[in-house]
Amino acid sequence: MSYWMKVLKKILYIVLTFVIIYVAYKFAIFYMPFLIAFLFSLVMEPIIKFIMRKLNFTRRTSSIIIFIIVLAIIIGIIALLVGTLISEASHFLGGLNGYVEKFHSISDNITNKLRFDGIEMPEEIKTAIQDSSKEFVNSSSNWVKNLLTGFLNATSSIPTMAICIIFSVIFLYFLCVDKIYIIDQIEHHFPEKWVKTVNSHLKDITGSFGGYLKAEVILILVSFVISLIGLYILKFAKFNIEYPLLIALFIGFVDALPILGSGTVMIPWAIISAINGDIKLGIAVIILFAIMNTTRQFLEPKLVSKHIGTHPIFTLIAMYTGFKIIGVFGLILGPIILIIIKNVFSNMIDEGIVKSIFENDG
C-alpha cells in the first residue's frame, strides 16, 4: 500500500501541475493587463536597482524616473507603429482582390515555367496541382484578410483598450514602487511552506525562461529592425515593396517561432520574385536575409547560453500541440509551457518519468 500511495501521489502531482498551468493560462487571459504590467516590471527591475545603486536614490524616486521614461518611449513607439500599421493595413485590404489575382497569375506563371506539359503525367494530377495552388492562395488571402480586418475592427474598441492600458499603467506603477510591500503581504497571507515552494519554482523558471525570453526578444527586435530598415531602403530605391511595416512585423512574428525563423518567409519570397521575373527584388531579399541571419548568428551565442534545453523534436511537438489547442498563438505558448514543465519535473525527467513514478525506491 505504501508503494502504491507513492505512485498515486506522483501521478496526482503531475495532474495537479497541468491543472495549475491550465488555470494559470485562463487567469492570464482574463487578467492580461496585469500580466503585461508584471512582465514590464521584470524588465524594469534591474534598471531601477541600477539607478538606486549608482545615484543613491530611494526605490520610489528611482521607480518613478524609470516609469516615466519607459512610459514615454512606449507611447511614442505605439503611436508611430499603430498609425503606420492602420494606414498600410487599410490600403492592403483595399487592394486585396487585385493581389489575389496577381498571386494566381504568379502561380500559373510558375506552373508554366516548370513545364508540366512536357512531363508524362495524368491530366487529373496536373489539374489537382493547379487547383491546390489556387486553393492555397485563396486560403492564405482569406486568412490575411481576416487577420487585418480583425486588427482594424479592434481599433474601433479603443475605449475598452484605453481602460485596459490605464489599468496596466497603474498596476505597473505600484509593482515598481511598492514591490517590497507587495512581497511582504504575499508572505503574510500564505503558508510559509507554500511561499517557499512557489518561490523556489518561480526563481528556477524565471532564471531559465527569463534569460531565454530576454535574449530571444532582443534577437527578434534586431531582426525586426533590420528587416524594417532594409525594406524601407528597398522601397525608397523603387523596388516593388508596398507594405514594409506589415512585412517586417510578419517576419518578426515568424522569427519568434522556435525552429522556423525569418528564412521561412524571405527565401520563398525571393524565389517567387525571381521566378516571376523580378530578379533584382529576389536578390535584394536574399541579401537582406543574409544580413539578418549573419547578425543573428553573431549575437545568438553571446545572448543565449541555453535555449529551451530540449531536443527540437519536443519543441516541435509542443508547438503543434499549442497550435491545435489555441491556434497560432499556441506556436509561441507551446514551447513556453514546455520550459515550465521541464523545470517543474526536472528531477523526474533526469530519472526517467515512468521509472520515477513506478520504480520501487525500496
Based on the structure, what is the number of domains in the chain? 1
pLDDT tens-digit map of 120-167: 556 666 666 666 666 665 666 666 666 666 665 665 566 677 788 888
Give me the pLDDT at residue 93, please. Answer: 62
Give me the pLDDT at residue 362, please. Answer: 46
Domain assignment present for 144: yes
Q: Which own/partner contact pairs does 105-114 have at CB distance under 8 Å and 24+ positions apart?
A: 106/272, 106/275, 106/276, 107/133, 107/134, 107/137, 109/275, 109/276, 110/272, 110/275, 110/276, 113/275
Where is 154: in which H helix or E strand? helix 123-154
Domain assignment present for 217: no
Band of pLDDT at residue 250, cut at 50, 70 and 90: confident
Domain assignment present for 46: yes
- 177 touches 60 (CB < 8 A): yes
Say how far apart CA 177 and CA 172 lie, in whole Å: 9
* Whether the predicted pLDDT of 305 surpasses 50: no
Range of the domain at 43: 31-189
Domain assignment present for 116: yes
Domain assignment present for 119: yes
pLDDT tens-digit map of 166-211: 888 888 888 888 877 777 777 777 777 777 777 776 676 666 666 6
Say how far apart CA 357 and CA 351 lie, in whole Å: 10
Say how far apart CA 302 and CA 309 lie, in whole Å: 16
For the residues 45-53, what does the mean pLDDT come to? 87
To 5 degrees, how large is the angle CA 191–CA 195–CA 199? 175
pTM to 2 decimals?
A: 0.55
Say how far apart CA 240 and CA 152 lie, in whole Å: 25
To 5 degrees, how large is the angle CA 298–CA 304–CA 307? 125
Higher pLDDT: 307 or 75? It is 75
Domain assignment present for 310: no
Highest mean pLDDT among 144-148, 161-165, 225-229, 255-259: 225-229
Domain assignment present for 308: no
pLDDT tens-digit map of 72-94: 888 887 777 777 767 766 666 66
Task: Dig out the grid coordinates for 231 from the structure.
Answer: 525594406
Domain assignment present for 12: no
Q: What is the DSSP string of 100-130?
A: HHHHHHHHHHHHHHTTGGGS---HHHHHHHH
Of 109, 88, 127, nearest in space to 242 by CA? 88
Say how far apart CA 113 and CA 48 lie, in whole Å: 60
